[in-house]
């Protein structure tokens, strides 16, 4: 089982004064601070949620739910890591929770070889384009790909969070990569043709 | 795929459908804005004590006034007792007694020492003359005792009965038996000059006490609330909890201020520092170690890693035993009622019952708790002595019950010895914690106090 180490003091993020005040205000359930926090981070958080769910409306619902959790749990934040990182983590878990609630598509075991997507293709696409392509992916692929390739979670953590085995997580990632690669290349080619 | 990650690093998308107003509605429904009561709660014991102090002070003042007024009235009544309701000798005796028990204690600004001396001198002379007159009544023509007749200036019956003139000038005239000169005595001024002679020393209402109480302690671990736990984990923890916690040593020290409420009943408040120790004895042989089940902190609660906690010792293998000393440093504001029962056989000893509560808040913790997966422990370490770093803990209420003795060493110095039991009635840990924790302590309280 993996150790989760205490964040060392020398890694502690020094927060800007304004952010510290914002957090303190949210701890005190101050509506003004909560609003400022929302306005400051809503864009970034929605960007995360969009990668995990299919529609924009659904993503915004997840984001709202995530913000509610942040306001409820902000008292537990201890400034040992970055506040933004802490919020992102909550947002990702909220998206996973949302996924687990609906669970539209069952996971299946599939072993595939590691697939590399050409960086040139990725470089010529915007984040919005990639999200559009991701919407076409099966949910299982998308979730695991997001968590592993973008958020940097390990298969162990993904398996714990999603309630699947590590093997399933690995297979979903492999399939997801193949799927996304194909989508990207297809999109790139059509773009070049046009 | 690393370029995919960098693509999304600063990706932002402004919401279209979600708005702050929508979220605000949700917030108002789920987390309504409340006034923080915590600080008011702190003030409560002090307000309570202050109110009682004020009440007691005013009560004493009133009582003193009543006694003084009664004395004044008695003197006045004795002085005008010739209205026939009392026999002359009785009135004279009464007057004599009254005057012997009063003294000029405090002088009204308008009363000069000469006036007072003359007043007292005249009173004495009058009394002596009256005694003589009563002792040897000669004839009906013999003038009545001066005390009884020479007070003039009171016209109506009401004025005679009260000794106070309606126009409030309150002038009484006393005929000097030697010179037959009429002396004007302001009864008000004279009365103001009279104060009760303190036959008994005043009772001390307050006591400042230094307190120390060594003893034993433990923390009762109750089931966690299910907010962040899977049922499986809770069940495992429940088994592990059995017998894991052993008694440790504790102590409380601080100072208290006691105040009389009514006879034999006092209320005490002040500040105490308490350290509760607990030993965790972890035996993976006897506990239901579900070592195969892997549960990380992030699975229990994604925020736990931000809570200055870590799970350690997951390499602890089945068959080993480990023990840890947990230390909980607590601040306490007590409000305790002490009812004293004097012991007739021993003049300076009383038995005392202590009943009350204390408001308890975390000062620091160095502790370990069993991990949620029953493999290893989780550290809850006081790193910077900052209370914010104990997010899983909260303030709690203790109840206090004790029974002991008080020894009055000197008139204003007391020693006390009282075994007492304290137990938290609300948990010091929040819902998101592994267990609900209720500290208890059995201590022998020792105090020395000075009354003032």
Summarised one tens digit per residue, pLDDT across range A8-29 is 333 334 344 478 888 888 888 8
Cross-chain residue pair B20–A38, CB shorter than 8 Å: yes
Q: Compute the nearest-CA separation of B2 from chain A (Å).
A: 7
Q: Which of these ranges, A36-50, A156-170, B29-43, B245-259, has the smallest mean pLDDT?
A: B29-43
Mean pLDDT, chain A, as a whole number?
Answer: 78
Q: Which residues of B touch A57 (CB under 8 A)?
A: 17
- From A81, which residue of chain B is nearest by alpha-carbon distance? B306
Q: Is B1 on the interface with A (CB under 8 A)?
A: yes
Higher-confidence residue of B310 and A155: namely A155
Pairs of CB atoms within 8 A across A/B? 144
Q: Do the Cβ atoms of A125 and A188 come closer than 8 Å? A: yes
Residues 352-381 of B with CB under 8 A from A: 373, 375, 379, 381
A4, B15: Cβ pair inside 8 Å? Answer: no
What are B162-197's pLDDT values in tens digits? 444 444 444 444 445 555 555 444 444 444 444 333
In terms of residues, how long is chain B?
Answer: 452
Q: How many angstroms separate the CA atoms of B312 and A4, rounded?
A: 8
Stretch B102-129: mean pLDDT, rounded? Answer: 52
Cβ separation B306–A76 shorter than 8 A: yes
Question: For residue A5, which residues of chain B lie inside 8 Å, CB to CB?
Answer: 310
Q: Give the residue-averaged pLDDT of A170-191.
A: 84
pLDDT, tens only, B137-150: 555 554 444 333 33
Distance CA A140, CA B197 (A): 96
CATH 1.10.10.10 maps onto chain A at 119-193
Q: Give the mutation candidate from A1, A44, A119, A169 for the B interface (greatest B CB count, under 10 A).
A: A1
Cross-chain CB nearest to A119 (options B3, B34, B432): B3
Task: List chain B residues with CB under 8 Å of A50.
Answer: 13
Residues of A in contact with B378 (CB under 8 A): none
Q: Do A35 and B5 lie within an 8 Å CB cutoff?
A: no
pLDDT, tens digit, for every residue of B83-97? 444 444 555 565 556
- C-alpha B128/C-alpha B134 separation (Å) is 10
Q: Buried b vs exposed e over B162-179: b needs ≥16 C-beta within 10 Å? A: bbbbeeeebebebbbbee
CA distances from A30 to A15, A22, A64, B174 (A): 19, 9, 17, 79
DSSP-derived 3-state class of residue B9: coil
For an interface test with A, which of B13, B230, B393 has the most A Cβ atoms less than 10 Å from its Cβ?
Answer: B13
Mean pLDDT, residues B433-439: 76
What CATH number does the domain located at A119-193 have?
1.10.10.10
- Name which of B15, B296, B373 is nearest A46 (Cβ-Cβ): B15
Whole-Å CA distances, B68 to B13, B63, B103, B196: 84, 9, 12, 6
pLDDT one-digit tens code per residue, B215-227 = 999 888 776 654 4
Flag whether residue B431 sits within 8 Å of chain A, measured between CB atoms.
no
Taking the Cβ of residue B239 and every Cβ of chain A, the question of whether any pair is shorter than 8 Å is answered with no
Residue A175 has pLDDT above 80, yes or no: yes
DSSP A22: H
Nearest to A47 among B8, B26, B30 (CB): B8
Mean pLDDT, rounded, for B419-432:
85
Query: Nearest Cβ partner of A122 from B3, B14, B311?
Result: B3
Among chain A residues, the shortest Cα distance to B20 is held by A35
Q: Kindly list the structural domains of chain B, giving each domain's residue range(s) and its CATH number in brackets, ordered by start.
A: 59-196 (no CATH), 203-451 (2.40.160.20)
A37 token code pair: 């926090």
CATH architecture of the region A15-102: Orthogonal Bundle (1.10)
Would you call A3 and B310 a contact, using CB atoms and an 8 Å cutoff? yes
> What average pLDDT does range B395-406 have in this prediction?
93
- Return the structure tokens found at B213: 């109480």
- Which residues of chain B from 278 to 317 reach within 8 Å of chain A, CB to CB? 294-299, 302-303, 305-312, 314
B390 or B415, greater pLDDT:
B415
The predicted pLDDT at position B271 comes to: 92
Examine the pLDDT at B320 and tell me if it is beyond 80. Answer: no
Q: Is B12 on the interface with A (CB under 8 A)?
A: yes
**Is A4 within 8 Å of B305 when comparing Cβ atoms?**
yes
Q: How distant is the Cα of B289 from the closest Cα of chain A, in angstroms?
A: 14
Q: Check A3 against B34: CB less than 8 A apart.
A: no
Share of chain B above pLDDT 90, in %: 19
Q: List, as own/partner pairs, every contact residues A150-158 make where C-beta atoms lie below 8 angstroms and the sequence separation is at least 24, other chains included.
A: A150/A51, A150/B4, A150/B5, A150/B8, A151/A88, A151/A92, A152/B5, A154/A2, A156/A2, A156/B294, A156/B296, A157/B296, A157/B298
CB A134 within 8 A of CB A142: yes
In whole angstroms, what is the distance from residue B126 CA to residue A55 CA? 112
With beta carbons under 8 A apart, name residues in chain A contacting B303.
73, 76-77, 86, 89-90
Q: How confident is the model at residue A58 (pLDDT cuts 50, 70, 90)?
A: confident
Q: Sorting pLDDT into bands at 50, 70 and 90, what band is B159?
A: very low
Q: Which residues of chain A have a CB within 8 Å of the CB of B383?
A: 9
Q: What is the mean pLDDT of residues B190-207?
A: 52
The structure's pTM equals: 0.41
Q: Which residues of A touch B1 (CB under 8 A)?
A: 116-117, 149, 177
pLDDT for res A150: 86
**What mean pLDDT, rounded, does chain B reach?**
66
Q: How far is B23 from chain A (nearest CA, A)?
A: 7
Q: Nearest Cα to B442, choosing from B405, B401, B406?
A: B401
Cβ separation B7–A122 shorter than 8 A: yes
Q: Are A127 and B7 contacting, i.e. CB atoms less than 8 angstroms apart?
A: yes
B23–A4 CB contact, under 8 Å: no
| Residue ranges of chain A that CATH labels 1.10.1740.10 | 15-102
What local confidence, expressed as pLDDT, does residue B242 receive?
A: 64
- Chain B residues with CB under 8 Å of A31 CB are 24, 27, 33
């Amino acid at each position: 089982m993996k150790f989760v180490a205490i964040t060392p003091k020398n890694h502690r993020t020094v927060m800007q004064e304004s952010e510290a005040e914002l957090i303190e205000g949210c701890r005190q359930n101050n509506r003004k601070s909560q609003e400022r926090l929302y306005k400051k981070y809503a864009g970034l958080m929605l960007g995360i949620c969009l990668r995990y769910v299919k529609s924009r409306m659904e993503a915004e619902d997840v984001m709202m739910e995530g913000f509610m959790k942040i306001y409820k749990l902000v008292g537990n934040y201890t400034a040992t890591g970055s506040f933004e990182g802490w919020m992102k983590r909550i947002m990702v878990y909220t998206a996973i929770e949302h996924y687990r609630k609906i669970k539209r598509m069952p996971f299946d075991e599939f072993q595939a070889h590691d697939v590399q997507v050409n960086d040139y293709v990725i470089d010529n696409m915007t984040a919005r384009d990639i999200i559009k392509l991701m919407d076409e992916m099966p949910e299982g692929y998308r979730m695991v790909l997001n968590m592993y390739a973008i958020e940097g979670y390990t298969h162990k953590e993904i398996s714990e969070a999603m309630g699947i085995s590590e093997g399933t997580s690995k297979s979903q990632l492999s399939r997801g990569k193949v799927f996304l690669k194909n989508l990207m290349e297809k999109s790139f080619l059509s773009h070049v043709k046009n | 795929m690393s370029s995919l990650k960098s693509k999304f690093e600063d990706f932002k998308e402004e919401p279209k459908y979600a708005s702050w107003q929508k979220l605000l509605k949700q917030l108002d429904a789920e987390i309504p804005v409340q006034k923080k009561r915590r600080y008011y709660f702190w003030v409560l014991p002090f307000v309570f004590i202050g109110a009682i102090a004020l009440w007691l002070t005013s009560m004493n003042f009133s009582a003193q006034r009543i006694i003084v007024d009664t004395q004044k009235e008695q003197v006045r009544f004795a002085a005008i007792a010739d209205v026939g309701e009392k026999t002359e000798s009785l009135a004279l005796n009464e007057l004599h007694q009254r005057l012997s028990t009063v003294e000029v204690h405090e002088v009204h600004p308008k009363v000069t020492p000469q006036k007072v001396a003359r007043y007292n001198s005249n009173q004495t002379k009058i009394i002596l003359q009256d005694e003589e007159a009563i002792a040897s009544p000669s004839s009906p023509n013999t003038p009545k005792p001066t005390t009884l007749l020479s007070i003039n200036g009171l016209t109506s019956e009401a004025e005679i009965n009260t000794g106070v003139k309606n126009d409030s000038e309150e002038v009484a005239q006393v005929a000097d038996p030697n010179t037959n000169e009429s002396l004007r005595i302001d009864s008000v001024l004279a009365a103001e000059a009279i104060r009760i002679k303190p036959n008994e020393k005043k009772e001390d209402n307050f006591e400042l006490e230094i307190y120390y109480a060594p003893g034993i302690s433990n923390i009762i671990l109750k089931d966690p609330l299910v907010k962040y736990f899977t049922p499986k984990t809770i069940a495992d923890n429940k088994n592990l909890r059995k017998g894991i916690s052993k008694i440790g040593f504790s102590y409380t020290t601080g100072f208290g201020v006691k105040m009389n409420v009514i006879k034999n009943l006092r209320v005490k408040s002040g500040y105490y520092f308490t350290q509760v120790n607990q030993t965790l004895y972890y035996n993976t042989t006897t506990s239901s170690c579900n070592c195969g089940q892997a549960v990380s902190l992030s699975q229990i609660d994604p925020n736990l890693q931000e809570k200055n906690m870590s799970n350690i010792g997951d390499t602890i293998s089945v068959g080993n035993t480990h023990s840890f000393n947990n230390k909980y440093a607590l601040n306490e504001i007590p409000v305790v009622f002490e009812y004293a029962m004097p012991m007739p056989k021993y003049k300076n000893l009383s038995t005392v019952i202590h009943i009350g509560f204390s408001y308890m808040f975390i000062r620091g913790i160095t502790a370990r708790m069993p991990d949620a997966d029953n493999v290893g422990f989780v550290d809850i370490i006081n790193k910077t002595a900052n209370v914010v770093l104990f997010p899983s803990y909260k303030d709690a209420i203790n109840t206090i019950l004790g029974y002991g003795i008080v020894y009055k060493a000197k008139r204003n110095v007391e020693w006390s010895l009282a075994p007492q039991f304290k137990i938290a009635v609300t948990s010091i840990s929040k819902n998101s914690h592994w267990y609900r924790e209720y500290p208890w302590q059995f201590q022998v309280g020792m105090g020395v106090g000075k009354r003032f």
